[in-house]
Amino acid sequence: MWTVVYLAPNCREAERVKDLLLAEGFAVKTKRICVGSDGNGPMGIMVPESEADEALEVIHEQKVLR
């Protein structure tokens, strides 16, 4: 089962977080939450449930969360 570990406000931020997690060896999926009028919108970053806690630590260490 996949778990959302980060909600990115747009595609650019989603790619940044996805690349960070991939570089650390995590399996990562992204899912668009909705599409805005500009064709962009929030995206969920997901990892396997068994890796969620570790992925959150990596995100926090890199100060991705504001």
What's the CATH code of the domain at 12? Answer: 3.30.70.1530
Boundaries of domain holding 50? 2-61
Instruction: Tell me: pLDDT of 37 over 60.
Output: yes
What does the pLDDT read at residue 33?
81
Q: pTM for this one? A: 0.84
| Crossing angle (nearest 10°) for helices 11-23 and 52-61 | 110
Burial class (CB in 10 A: 0-12, 13-18, 19+), 6: buried
Instruction: Tell me: pLDDT of 16 over 80.
Output: yes
**66: in domain:** no
Determine what percent of the chain is predicted with pLDDT higher than 70. Answer: 86
**35: in domain:** yes
**Which residue's structure tokens are 């995100």?**
59
What does the pLDDT read at residue 50?
97
Among the listed residues 23, 8, 30, the one whose alpha carbon sits nearest the alpha carbon of residue 58: 23
